[in-house]
Amino acid sequence: MNRKTSAIIAIQAFLIIVLFWILVFYGKDEYDSFNQAQEEEVASPNRVAQANGATVVTLSQEAQSQSDIKTVKLSTSDHQATLSALGNVISIDNLIELRTRYLNAKANASIARASLTNSQQDFQRMQALNKDDKNVSDHAMLVAQAAFKADQAKVQAAETEANNLRDTMRQAWGEKLADEASKEPASASLQALLQHHEVLVLITLPVDHGTPKAGDTISITPTGANTKSISASFVAPAPQTDTTIQGRTYYYRASSDTLRAGMRVNVEIKETANNHNNNAKGIVVPSSAVVWYGGKAWVYKKNSQDQFVRLPISTESPTNGGWFNQSKQINGGDELVTNGAQLLLSEEFKYQIKNENQD
């Protein structure tokens, strides 16, 4: 009995020792984690605060230097308002076909007129001889007359066909292009289209937009392509319409280097005083200063040597290298963070996570 009791006591003592060391092992990890969290909290002071409804991040100049925070001073600039529209590069195969048929009809009419001249002269000679004591028979005169009338009909038919084709071109392509297509030889501007040095672009503008005039240009870019914009010159109003867009349609011509028939294009048109828009004064926010959060564009403005405030900007007026803005919160002379804005946003996230953990 004493031996069994001793064994039980020994086992219990062993279990107590094992449990003790287990508690020590796991307790040490929790203790280290607690100390590390305390050290991080001491080493990472609260850098984020709210002021007048805006988020302000405070960062010492030493921390700014270590994080490579860079800013740029804004300057006031003029911005000409632009109108965005859509268009598509159209095929001129139908115009080429109509031009070919029209020129053939005109050629046939010329041949018929030449034949008519000869048959008319023959008929007049036969008629004169017939009247002069029947030097030619009535039958010969009637044959000449029939040939003359047949040639008259051929001329009329060829000219009618040519006129109908001319009207078809006018209805399908407008007066300007119909005139160009009717000329032989082709003008230099039409040759550029026929030889595919240039393409024809159908642009749809709002109904209340002013009518373009000769010499007007627009900037077009293939939809979805990250390429340099292409200058297009106004040609004429278009009788064709784009069934997917409401508005007035116009023809423009542009270089065919990157444009192909069937392509959709984005259009940017500089507004003029005639369209009730004038130059506006504001600032251009560089694209390098913009961070995206919550589906919106934001920038960090430097309020003081060590404070940065996050402010929203508008992206409705893109311009070279950024976006044009008119805002009471951001003006010429203000400094925006162009390198390190994402780091400042990360500081805000840390602040939000810390507050959530405390809650």
- Summarised one tens digit per residue, pLDDT across range 51-72 is 777 788 998 889 899 989 999 9
Mean pLDDT estimate for the chain: 85
Q: Which two tokens stand for residue 2?
A: 């004493």
Kindly report the pTM of this predicted structure: 0.58
Give the pLDDT confidence of 178-202 residue by residue, as tens digits.
999 999 899 999 999 999 999 999 9
Compute the distance between CA of residue 78 and CA of residue 284 in angstroms, rounded to an integer. 9
Give dist(CA 278, CA 81) in Å, integer: 7
Q: Are 222 and 265 in contact (CB under 8 A)?
A: yes
Whether the Cβ atoms of residue 177 and residue 236 lie closer than 8 Å to each other? yes
Q: Please indicate whether residue 307 or residue 321 has the higher confidence score (pLDDT).
A: 307
Give the pLDDT of residue 136: 81
Query: Which amino acid is residue 245, in one-letter code?
Result: I
30 HSE (CA, 13 A, CB side): 6
pLDDT at 84: 82
Question: How far is C-alpha 355 from the chain's CA centre?
Answer: 43
